Amino acid sequence: MGSMHTGLEDRARDIDRLAEYFAERARGGVGLIVTGGYAPNRTGWLLPFAAQMTSASDVRRHRRITDAVQAFDGKILLQILHAGRYAYHPFSVSASSAKAPINPFRPRRLSGRGTLKAIDDFVRCARLARDAGYDGVEIMGSEGYLLNQFLAPRTNKRTDAWGGTASKRQRFPVEIDAKRAIKQGTELAARL
């Protein structure tokens, strides 16, 4: 079952309804479910106070979802989605400060340091998803969201190490994946 936003992701009080929604699909035979998008940090919210996976309290809440799905032998992935310039709030960020035509808010251009912090936030979000019992993560890199904004020359007007050539524009998503893999490998080695 591909990712779709139900509206239940955005309010903590709806977590049990969301768990039952996913459990019903697992009960019906869906083998793999991908959640709606969860932001790795506040700037990645789609809307103010939208779905996020950033803390231990999020992990505890999400255990209700993963337990409900896995009770029926289903697998579930958390989709990590950073809205970038599509965020409908004044804290939005992007590769460049190019305003999206569908949004009244102009994003702030991530600094080099801010870009590294965003990478760390994606990695932390993936680790928290694992701690919450998710079977994996899907990192949303399409449809114009933040990873895509770094990749596309139309939205990435940078001339530093994060923009310009295709390989520099690819650096942001590649480093998210590499750092996540290194972190997970290190944690796995420590457990062995």
CA-based radius of gyration for the chain = 17
The number of beta carbons lying within 10 Å of the beta carbon of residue 58 is 20
From first CA to last CA, the distance across the chain in angstroms is 33
* Strand order from edge to edge, sheet including 32-38: 32-38, 75-80, 136-139
Residues 6+ apart with CB under 8 A from 129: 38, 53, 62, 78, 80, 136, 137
Cα 136 to Cα 78: distance, rounded to the nearest angstrom: 7
- Active-site residue, from 38, 86, 134, 145: 145
DSSP 8-state symbol, 33? E
Is 21 catalytic? The answer is no
Q: Which residues pair with 137 in a beta bridge?
A: 78
The number of beta carbons lying within 10 Å of the beta carbon of residue 123 is 22
Residues carrying an active site annotation: 145
